[in-house]
Chains A and B, each alone.
Chain A
Amino acid sequence: MSPGRLAVHPSHLIDQSRPVEFLFDGRTYKGFEGDTVASALWAAGVRMFSRSFKYHRPRAPFAMTGADTNCMVRAGDEPNVRACVKLVAPGLNVTPQNVWPSLNADLMSLSSLAARFMPAGFYYRTFMRPKFLWPWYERVLRNAAGLGYVTLETPSTYYDKEYGFAELLVIGGGPSGMSAALSAAGRGARVVLLEESPYLGGHLRHERQTVETATGERLPAYQLAARLSDRVFANRNISVELETNAFGIYEDLWIGAAKRDTRLLKIRAQSLILANGAFERPLVFENNDLPGVMLGSAAWRLLHLYATMPGRRAVVVSANDDGLRVAIDLHAAGIEVAAVVELRNDPDPTLAAALRARGIDVKVRSVVVKAHGRRRVERVTIGQMTDESPSLSGTVDVTPGTREVVKCDLVTVSIGWTPATGLLHQAGGQTAYDTTAAESRVTQLPERVRAAGRVSGTHDVTTAMAEGEMHGLDAAAELGLGDGASTELREKVASLKATQLIRNSSAVHVRGGKMAFVSFDEDVTVKDINDSVAEGYSSMELLKRYSTLSMGPSQGKYESTNTMALCSAANDEPIATTGSTTSRPPFHPVSLGVLAGRKMEPVKHTPMHDWHVEHGARMMNVGLWKRPEHYGDPAEEVLTTRRGVGLIDVSTLGKLQVIGSDVPELLEMLYINRWRKLAPGRVRYGVMCTDEGMISDDGIAANLGADRWYVTTTTGGADGVYENIEWNLQSGWTFDVHVANVTDHYAAMNLTGPRAVDILREVTDIDLRGDALPYMSVREGHVAQVPARVMRIGFTGELGLEIHVAAGYGLHVWETLMDAGRAHGIIAFGVEAQRIMRLETGHFIVGQDTDALTDPYMANLERAVRTDKPDFLGRPSLVHIEQRGIRSKLVGYRMLDAHVVPPEGSQIVVPDSTRPIGLEIIGRITSARYSPTLDASIGLCWLPADGCEPGAEFTARVRGDLLPGRVVSLPHYDPKAG
């Protein structure tokens, strides 16, 4: 046996033969395998772990469940780690949080001296004057708040996600959860059991009381835990996930759980049994947060899981049998029990007798009034409750003459349990506060959801197991397995539940003192609650938002009942009327890394991607795609293409294969243009609009003959256009068409320039002689010996041949064309050169030159809009716009200074002395480039429809300077003319 540790016992989780050394606050400590940071430090005598949020008070383990925040530390590079569940590991570097300059000499703790001037929400009442000091005040506030810190050194880690399916999902591996899993699995159900601890058994594992099994056998609790646990692990229908926190129950029983903080489990459950227990309830009294004051179950956990002495001399506060058992177990471990302070006046006679037999004094109708001590509890004041004091709920007073001070280094509190209903509420269940039971009881559960054990108000072990069994059988029956629980079992559960002993006192607050905490997370006191309610924050939700109750990292798990009770008392209404705040996921905080999982940011490469990279392309992001921006010198790419020939990869264009007898009808509806008369072999440019009549996409459609059409969209528009067509086809349009998004199935490239035909002719069987392939037409045949579609279309003003081949042939065709073109001086060009050339030609780009308020009339497409068609997307709005006329227009311009290229987005202005800087906006520049072909600064801009004729001059605000430009007619450059 090690110093500070108890003799080895089967219920222990630690292996005392395997020491583990770790660091805390710069010093080396020894623990054992299986120890948590908190248990190892407590055994080593450490009594202060961190400082609290508001007053920087010393804090140490309080619940030992991982659900409270009193022992949050930094472990390695991870902030806000719950030391009470974090397992020790060799070399683990643990440091205290929220301390400055050090844990022992924290300057911010002085703030508690000014606590009387810092009531709840004090910051709303001050720091307002003088106004210019607020940023400074705020900096001070911000530095005082917060808990852990993050550093840039924390590495980005990836985690995997796991998807699961459960016929029955059981959350909680205590007696009721295990019974439920076993009974359902016995009927053949495939069960998944999630348990947050590294072991099964729940509270049985740390209790030594004798319990009775369903068959009437009596054995110690921890042995029953082991027996049930063995059966669960042996059952092949049950898969157990330990150290797994179910944090969220989403729609249709979609459950999120975090396993060992490193893996996200996502489980779709057919049926759910919640057996996730209860939280022990704190007593509210002066200095109830001093290290050494802890829940009775925390003392049990230290003793019976970690072989650690919680203290040397204890005062046990009790309002149920758990408290009396804690006293017995502490004594059995060799701890002196200075007093049992019993709130009831009729404690269980058998247990009371057992205590007396050990020489322990049970003070009935007594309570602890105040804990004393600087950094840990050293003494407590206890006293007899007045006759007027309620015994098990509300605010109690102590008869003045009965106060006495007792020396101790440990105060345990066992006054009741709060069902952990957070997940139950997330699942859609409802609860109502039951005054007799002094807890919230389930009133309604959605289909396929059941609750067993403490979460459903069943505190007795035998009853909880019977209830679990019943629900397990019923869940199996719902899955078609067996007939469900027998009437006998059902009646047994009902009668056991009805007769079980009440183990709860409602929130008990001992009057007096200022530092009586309801929330340890946020340092909210009873006085804060009373003041907030008096100020008008009287409902639970307003109280929460104002006082920050339940907004801390434990989300109110240990303060919810006390808050409800004190809020209702302050409002002078029953607790049931007060209600609670809404429970939302996550039930346990879950790290961003676990939620994010592996990086899932897809990248799309065209079939020619590697070629581009090898040839020095600078790649750019275009949606999911990577495209070559240029291969070194975009101006040279422009000039070479215009003089001879260039090749650009346009595989990223959206591509739709549309087949059926009604394709022209579909296109008539989709586009503003006419389609019915487009002959086979012909191609037409089309523009699509939204319902509001605003341009949404453009592209071409090619009639391949025999009801086969090939449609292209912009690179960014592919998915949207496809979805829009599908949406309409599924919700109203009844055309005989089939649409497939084949964007990724075809590679496409555009051979551009005066010599394009000369090159293609060498590698194709398609007839290119004379007028065999006129402008805006399509042919199918072979290019580089593979099947290909060739369209003669142009975006650059030059002769353009767009070649589409199956994606797998893309690189082959590309290389063949580059080889064939070598003799003609071919060059590969990128997006930038294409943008310059299209601008020289005066083509607009949807989304760059147009925005969500651009209609086709404004973009010089009035001839394309066929409002004489009976219907198409946007027609009603376009009819209206046609009548109303337009206010602004997209036009071409040249800057008078050929070497000033305005940033795209620059505004066109006129002087107006009434405006803030003397300028009024009348237009803006949407595309601007230096044209190497023209040696000019050209672009497209929006101007008022009146006065934007070619030759009109305007003023643009370019990087703060006002510079002149002139409207010019489009195109800026016409190769045929030039």
Chain B
Amino acid sequence: MSFTLLKRGLRPNRPPAPMWREHPLQDHYDVVIIGGGAHGLATAYYLATVHGITDVAVLEKRYIGSGASGRNTAILRSNYLTPEGILFYDESIKLYENLASELDFNVMFSQRGHLTLAHTDSSMRTMQWRAEVNQIQNVDSRVISPAEVKKLVPFIDTSDRPRYPIMGALYHPPGGVIRHDAVVWGYARAADAKGVHIHQQTEVTGIDVEHNRVVAVQTNRGRIATGTVLNATAGWCSLIAAMAGVRLPVETRPLQACVTEPLKPFLDTVIVSGTFHFYLSQSDRGELVMGASVNPFASYSTDATLDFAEALAGHVLELFPSLAKVRLLRHWAGLCDMTPDFSPIMGTTPVDGFLVDVGWGTYGFKAAPVSGKRMAELIATNRTPELIAPFAYDRFFTGQIVGEKGAAAVTN
């Protein structure tokens, strides 16, 4: 038992210490980060801890973690397709592995393994490709047989009864799930402790640019003078960028997800099926957490749709027929900013002092620590770290697009 819990248990009438504090909004900050999600808070945390930059404000329109950080299905993996992608996500996984002890907050990273199922010979080929690239990057990842899948997941139907029988799977033992809210809260607490100001219920209404240089951010609570602004939003990233006069090649689409009522544990690994368009894991609370592809149309709506729930249930039962009587409990949607090459946009923009960490599609949560760390490095040193250089804004004008699209049917 932790000392904190022991102390609290023995002094039940003393209120626990606050995780973060409220501050008056200053009229100047060295750095203003727009977006109080995992990316924004991680950047603030690494700015403060690694680079000693603490005059930082994180502005959040609602409450911290209210956007994509609290709406994703919290799957972590590093078995990507391109060497750039693998290096990047592998650093993220490594940061995640040590996050609980670094932040002294249990983010419950549960590395129970990740299975991407293959139901066609073409997806078998892609799995092989990914496994080969992963192995050469020293990422634990291999193609396994249906019998091995069955051993890992007794509830899955590996017979030829499903419309698309399982032909094999890419097995990635270090993949798993994490408690997404805890990541947000852990970063928030640690950033707050270092002096970062977290302003919730603070909406950005404008960005002042003079002579192609950021000078201030306008909010519903007043103006903040600053020379450095990081757009770390999702869902509205193109609208925020437009405030600074920067156009982003982003199309926003809702992504829905849902959970069932809690059940006793029966599923350890994360299951992804591209052919059946779903992914599935069982949380520590016992809920099955399920998701599928982004909606087929652009929208800012976070409404759930019935046809999504119907199709998802049908596809899940195709592979897990004995779950027919399990009940769907909650169903929600988040917003995903899709870029043309299914890769993020990170770094500087044509407007001096206006940086972006956006376009995270359906894979942003996996990258929060590494993005935060490297964006903080960029802000502090004014040099773009090599790891994020492939994701520069100007690639869309030079034709150097990144290659994760090849494997992005269902990207979790």
On A, residues with C-beta under 8 Å from B are 53, 77-80, 116-119, 122-129, 131, 134-135, 138-139, 141-143, 145-157, 248, 250-251, 254, 256, 264, 266, 514, 527, 530-531, 534-537, 539, 541-542, 545-546, 548, 551-553, 555, 584-586, 589-593, 595-597, 599-601, 603, 620-622, 691-692, 847-848, 851-853, 877, 880-881, 884, 903-907, 909, 915-917, 919, 921, 924, 926, 957, 960
Contact = CB atoms under 8 A, between A and B. Distances in A.
A137 B201 CA distance: 36
A708 B262 CA distance: 60
B350 interface: no
B74 to A, nearest CB: 12
Q: Which of A128, A514, A691 has the most CB of B within 10 A?
A: A128
B65 interface: yes
Given A129-B101, A146-B286, A877-B399, A917 B138 contact: yes
Q: Nearest 4 CB-CB pairs, A to B?
A: A146-B286, A156-B321, A905-B128, A905-B129
Given A124-B182, A157-B324, A584-B332, A138 B284 contact: yes
B310 A597 contact: yes
Contacts of B17: 535
Given A79-B326, A531-B15, A147 B262 contact: yes
Nearest to B275: A621
Interface in B62-97: 62-66, 70, 83
B122 A884 contact: no
Contacts of B1: 117, 126
A592 B260 contact: yes
A125 B322 contact: no
A256 B331 CA distance: 13
Nearest to A590: B328
Contact of A597 (B21, B106, B129, B314): B314
A719 to B, nearest CB: 13
Contacts of B9: 116-117, 119
Given A117-B5, A853-B401, A535 B16 contact: yes
Nearest to A533: B15
Interface stretch (B26-34, B42-50, B263-271, B356-364): B263-271
A620 B324 CA distance: 28
Nearest to A142: B265
A119 B324 CA distance: 35
Interface stretch (B51-59, B215-223, B238-246, B299-307): B299-307
Contact of B325 (A138, A154, A555): A154
Nearest to A928: B125
A125 B106 contact: yes
A303 B83 CA distance: 69
B148 interface: no
B168 to A, nearest CB: 11
A146 B264 contact: yes
Interface string B103-118: 0111110110000000
Contact of B305 (A123, A150, A250, A915): A250
B132 A924 contact: yes
A553 B132 contact: no
B263 A128 contact: no
Given A143-B265, A852-B406, A917-B138, A535 B18 contact: yes
B327 interface: yes
B285 A124 contact: no
Given A123-B284, A128-B101, 12 more contacts: A117-B6, A124-B107, A125-B2, A125-B106, A143-B265, A248-B309, A531-B15, A545-B181, A595-B314, A621-B120, A877-B399, A907-B136
15 contacts: A53-B262, A79-B326, A119-B16, A147-B261, A147-B263, A148-B263, A541-B66, A592-B327, A593-B313, A596-B313, A600-B314, A601-B163, A692-B340, A905-B127, A916-B138
B132 A151 contact: no
B4 A125 contact: yes
A600 B330 CA distance: 24
B382 interface: no
Given A586-B328, A853-B406, A128 B286 contact: no
A974 B96 CA distance: 55
Contacts of B129: 904-905, 924
A21 B273 CA distance: 44
A188 to B, nearest CB: 29
A535 B188 CA distance: 12
Contacts, number: 294
B103 to A, nearest CB: 9
B63 A79 contact: no
B267 to A, nearest CB: 9
Contact of A150 (B155, B304, B331): B155
A123 B106 contact: yes
Nearest to A122: B5
B106 A80 contact: no
Contacts of A80: 261, 263, 326-327
Q: Which of A591, A600, A884, A924 has the most CB of B within 10 A?
A: A591
B378 interface: no
B126 interface: yes
A536 B133 CA distance: 44
A917 B136 contact: yes
Nearest to A98: B264
B322 A584 contact: no
A119 B136 CA distance: 46
Contacts of B305: 250-251
B405 A853 contact: yes
B325 A880 contact: no
B327 A590 contact: yes
Given A146-B265, A251-B305, A545-B181, A77 B329 contact: no
Interface string B174-215: 000001011001100000000000001000000000000000
Contacts of B108: 123-124, 138
A961 to B, nearest CB: 12
Given A251-B303, A906-B132, A595 B309 contact: yes
Contacts of A548: 285
Nearest to B188: A536
Interface string B322-366: 111111111110000000110000000000000000000000000
B106 A127 contact: yes
A674 to B, nearest CB: 24
Given A126-B2, A150-B155, A921 B136 contact: yes
Given A79-B263, A585-B304, A917-B135, A545 B65 contact: yes
A530 B163 contact: no
Given A545-B65, A853-B401, A149 B321 contact: no
A513 B217 CA distance: 49
Contacts of B120: 621-622
A846 to B, nearest CB: 11
Nearest to B10: A116
Nearest to A904: B125
B83 A921 contact: yes
B19 interface: yes
Contacts of A145: 262, 284-286
B295 to A, nearest CB: 12
B70 A545 contact: yes
B19 A596 contact: no
Contacts of A853: 401, 403, 405-406
Q: Which of A596, A881, A904 has the most CB of B within 10 A?
A: A596
A156 to B, nearest CB: 3
Contacts of B163: 599, 601, 603, 621
A125 B4 CA distance: 7
Nearest to B97: A131
Contacts of B186: 124
Interface string B276-318: 0000000011100000000000000001111001101110111
B351 to A, nearest CB: 25
Given A585-B331, A596-B310, A921-B136, A852 B403 contact: yes
Contacts of B144: none
A576 to B, nearest CB: 16
A248 B307 CA distance: 11
